Structure 1
Amino acid sequence: MGDIIIYFANWIWGTPMLLLLMGGGLILLVHSGFVPFRKIGHAVSLLSGKYDDDLAPGQITSFQALSAAIAATVGLGNISGVAIAINMGGPGAIFWMWVSAFVGMATKFYSCSLSIMFRGKDSAGVVQGGPMYVIEEGMGKKWKFLSVIFSVAGVIGLLAIFQANQLSAVFRAVMLEPSGISTGETTRWIIGITMMVLVAIVILGGIQRIATVASKLVPFMVGLYFVTVLIIVFKYIGAVPEMLLLIVTDAFTGEAAAGGVVGAVIITGARRAAFSNEAGIGTAPMVHGASKNREPIREGLIAMLGPFIDTIVVCTLTALVIMLTGVWQSSEADGVRLTLNAFETALPGIGKYLLMLAVLIFALSTMFTYSYYGHKCFNYLFGADKADYYNYFYLITIVVGAVVSLEVVISLVDGMYAIMAIPTMISTIYLAPKVRAAYHDYFNRMKAEK
C-alpha cells in the first residue's frame, strides 16, 4: 500500500501539476497587475486592525485568520520540508520555491478575496468560506462535483500525520537517543498519544480557541526561530553570498538533482513550496473565509503576506543554515533530522534543544489549524451535525502518524494536496475577473475617501 501511495504522489506531481500551480499563479500575477509587489505596503497596514468590523459576518478577525493560516504554513514545511527539498533536488530547489512563493502571493490574493466574495452557509446556517463554497456559490451548482473532490481530498490530506511523524522523530533524536532510552514502537505510540492529548485540548474548543492560541503562538515561534537562525547565519556570514549564488546557479544546472535534470529540480521546489506555503491548495481560503470582513480585497491583500513570510523569509533562512553548515553534503539524514544536524553543528550543545522547542511549537500550531481545515471539509460533505466526529478521527491519526514511515506520510499528503489544487486553481482562474473588478472598485473608493 505504501508503494502505491508513493507512486501516485510522484505521478501526479509531474508537469501538469507544475503548470497548474506555477503557470496558473503566473497568469494571476500578470492579471492582477503585479499586486503582490505594488500593494504589499497597504497589505501590512491592514494588519493594524484599523479597518476591522466586529459586526461583519464571520467568526474571527483578519489578523487572527492570517495568524491561523501562518500557523499552518510556517511550520514543519519550513524546517523539514526545506531539508527534504535540498536532499531531493539540491540547493536549486530553493530558487524554485522562491518563484513559487511570488506567484503564490498572487494566487492567495485571488483565492482569499474569493473566499469572502462567495461565502456560503453550512447545514446549520453558519456562514462559511473556502474553495468548496466559492465553487458552489461563484461557479454554480453544476460545478459542485469539484467542491466534493476538494473536500474528500481535504479530509485525508489535512490530517496532521506529517507533523506527528517529524515531531516524534526530533523528540526521539534530541531527548531519548542520547540518553540511551529505547525509541522502539512502544515509545512512538506513547509520544503519539501525548501529542494527541495536547492537540485535543485546543481543537475541541473550535475555531475561536484555535485562532486565539495561534495568534499568541505564531509571533513567538517565528521570533524564536528567526533569532536562532540569524545567529547561525551571522556565524557563517562570509559564506552567505556563495550559498545564495549556489541556489541560483543550481536552479538552472540541476547538478544536484538525479541525473542532472533541471525539470526535476523545478518540480521538487514547486512540490515543497506547495507543502510549505500552500498557495493554490485551498487551505488558507477556508480560514480567511471565516474572518469578519466585508471587503474581499482587504482579506486577499492580508492573505498574500503568508507566502512571503513563510517561503521567502523562513524557508530561505532554514536553507542557509543547512547549506552553511555543510550537513546537506556530509549527512545521510533526511527531513527534520538533517535540519537538526545543521543546528547542532552550528550551535553545539544548545542548537538541538532550540530546534526542538521550535519544532514543538511549529508542529502543534499546525496541527491545531489543520484540524479546522479538515473539519470544514467534513462539514461540507456530511453536514454540521456530524462534523465534530472528524475531530476524533483526526486525533487518532496523530498517533498513527508518529509510527509510520516518513516517505509514505509525505507522499500521502503530497498526493492529496495535488488533488485539492485542481478545483482550487480552476475556480480561482475562472472567477479572477470578478476579483480584478472588485480590486479597482476598492481602490477607487479608498482614493475617494482620502
Structure 2
Amino acid sequence: MEELVKAFSDYAWGLPLVILLIGGGVYLLILSRFLPFRYLSHAVHVLRGKYDDPNDPGQISHFKALTTALSSTIGMGNIAGVAVAISVGGPGAMFWMWVSAIVGMSTKFFTSTLAIMYRGKDSAGELQGGPMYFIVEGLGKSWKPLAIMFSLFGMIGALPVVNVNQLTQAVNDIILIPNGVDVGFKSNLILAIFLVVITSIIILGGLNRISNAASKMVPTMVLLYFVSVVFILISNYELVPKYFYLIFTDAFSAVSYKGDSFMGGVLGALILLGIRRGAFSNEAGIGTAPMAHGAAKTDEPVREGLVAMLGPAIDTLIVCTLTALAILVTGVWETTSDNGVSLTASAFNHTMPFYGRYLLMVCVAIFSISSLFSYSYYGTKCMSFLLGADRKHYYNYIYILSIILAVMTPFNMMLNLIDGAFALMAIPTMLATLIMAPRVTKEIKAYFKRIKTED
C-alpha cells in the first residue's frame, strides 16, 4: 500500500504539474506586472481593517480569512515539511521553496481574487467561494467536471493525516520516550481520542467558531515560534552567513541531495523536491486558501487577493526560512538520522538543552491543532458542493475517523497521499485561473482607479 501511494504521488507530481504551477505562476506574475510586490503596504492596510464594511457580503473579516488560511498552511509544512526537504535535499531545497513562495504570492492573489469575483451559492442559498465555485460561475456549467475533480481530491487533501501523524511523533519523541514511557498502540490511541474531542468541539461549531479559534491561535503561534528560532540563530550567529550562502550555492550544485533522480538528474529532483515541499507549506495554486478567502466580507475582489498574497510571504519566506536555518546552523541535519518533526526537535534541543524540545512541542501542538480546524472547513465545503449543503456535516465524521487512522499509519505514506491529492487539486485550480487571468487584470485596473477617486 505504501509503495502504491508513493507511485501515485510521484506520478501526479510529474513535469507537467511543475510547469503548470511554476510556469503558470511566473505568467501570472508578469501579467500582473509584479503586483504582489508593488502593493504590499496597501495589502497590510486592508488586513488591518482600514476598508472593512460590516454590510459587505460574506461571513468573516479579511483578518479572520487570512488567519483561517494561515492556520492550515502554517503547520506541519513549516516544521516537518522543511525538515523533510533538508534531510533529503540539503540546504539547496530551501532556495526552491523560496522560488515556489515568490511565484505563489502571485498565484494566491489571482486565485483568491477569483474566489470573490465568482462566488456561487450552495444548495442552502449561502454565498460561497473557492475554485469549484469560480470554475462553474466563471467558465460555465460545461466546465463542471473540473470543479467536481477539485472537490473530490479536496476531500482527500483536507484530511488531517500528516498533522496528526507528526503531532503523535512529536509527543512520542519529545515527551513520552525521554521520560521512560512505553509508546505504542495504546498511547497513540489515547492521543487520538484527545485530538478527536478538541477537534469535534471546534469544527462542529462551523466557520465562525473555526475562524475565531484561528484568529486567536495563529498570531500567538507565529510569535512564539519566531522568538524561539531567532534565539537559536543568535546563539549560532557566526554560522548563519555560511549556511545562508550555502542555500544559494547548493540550490544549483545539488551536492547534498540524497533522493532519487528526476529525468536522469539530481538537480531536477532537488527543484521538484523544493517545489513539492513549498506547495505543501504554502498551498499556492492548490486551491485550499481561496475557500477561506472566498468567505471574506468584501465586495472588492482585488482587496481579498492582496490579503491572500501575504500568506506565502509569512508562511514560506519567513517561517520556513527560520526553520531551515535553525536545522542548518545547529548541524543536526548532518549529525542525526532524524526526519520530519524529530529533526526540528533536535535543532531546538541542540541550542536549548532540557527545555528546547518542550518549547517546540508547544509550537507543534498549536500549529497542528489549529490546522485541524481549518482543513475540516475545506473538506465540508467540497462535500457541500458535491452532495449539497444539507449533507456536508457527514464529512466531519469522516474527518474525525481519519484522525484515529493517521496515528496508526507510517508518516511517508500519509505525506505521499496528501501530496498526490494536492497535485490533482492544483490541475483544475491552475487551469481555470490561467484562463480567467485577463479578467482579473481588468479588475485590478478598475479597482485602483476607484481607490484614486475615493482618495
Give me the TM-score of the superposition, normalised by structure 2. 0.98
Where does 1:271-420 land on structure 2 (aligned, <5 Å)?
271-420=276-425
> Aligned letter for 2:431?
I
Deviations 1:383-433 (A, max 9, x none): 011100110110110111111000100000000000000000001111001
Give the unaligned 5+ runs of structure 2: none
CA distance in 2, matches of 1:256, 1:28: 32
> Aligned letter for 1:298?
R
Q: Per-residue deviation at 1:140?
A: 0.6
Where does 1:57-68 land on structure 2 (aligned, <5 Å)?
57-68=57-68
CA distance in 1, matches of 2:100, 2:157: 20
What secondary structure does 2:389 align onto? Answer: coil
CA distance in 1, matches of 2:178, 2:233: 26
Q: Per-residue deviation at 1:14?
A: 2.1
Q: Per-residue deviation at 1:90?
A: 1.3
> Aligned letter for 2:20?
L
Deviations 1:90-136 (A, max 9, x none): 11110000011000000000000000000000011100000000000
Q: CA RMSD in A?
A: 0.8
CA distance in 1, matches of 2:45, 2:296: 17
CA distance in 1, matches of 2:124, 2:46: 31
What secondary structure does 1:385 align onto? Answer: helix
Identity %: 52
What secondary structure does 1:287 align onto? Answer: helix
- Establish whether residue 43 from structure 1 lines up as the match of residue 43 from structure 2: yes
What secondary structure does 1:115 align onto? Answer: helix
CA distance in 1, matches of 2:144, 2:245: 47
Q: Per-residue deviation at 1:48?
A: 1.6
Where does 1:213-292 land on structure 2 (aligned, <5 Å)?
213-258=213-258, 261-292=266-297
CA distance in 1, matches of 2:167, 2:19: 33
Deviations 1:304-327 (A, max 9, x none): 000000000000000000000101
Q: Per-residue deviation at 1:88?
A: 1.7
Q: Which moved more, 1:98-107 or 1:173-182?
A: 173-182
CA distance in 2, matches of 1:29, 1:336: 33
CA distance in 2, matches of 1:96, 1:360: 27
Q: Which residue of 1 aligns with 2:150?
A: 150
CA distance in 2, matches of 1:74, 1:390: 23
- Establish whether residue 109 from structure 1 lines up as the match of residue 114 from structure 2: no
What secondary structure does 1:431 align onto? Answer: helix
Where does 1:13-28 land on structure 2 (aligned, <5 Å)?
13-28=13-28
CA distance in 2, matches of 1:51, 1:110: 20
> Aligned letter for 1:349?
F
CA distance in 1, matches of 2:315, 2:211: 18
Where does 1:179-198 land on structure 2 (aligned, <5 Å)?
179-198=179-198
Q: Which residue of 1 aligns with 2:453?
A: 448
Q: Which residue of 2 aligns with 1:80?
A: 80
What secondary structure does 2:149 align onto? Answer: helix
CA distance in 2, matches of 1:17, 1:330: 34
Deviations 1:255-302 (A, max 9, x none): 112467111110000000000000000000001001111000000000
CA distance in 1, matches of 2:411, 2:84: 11
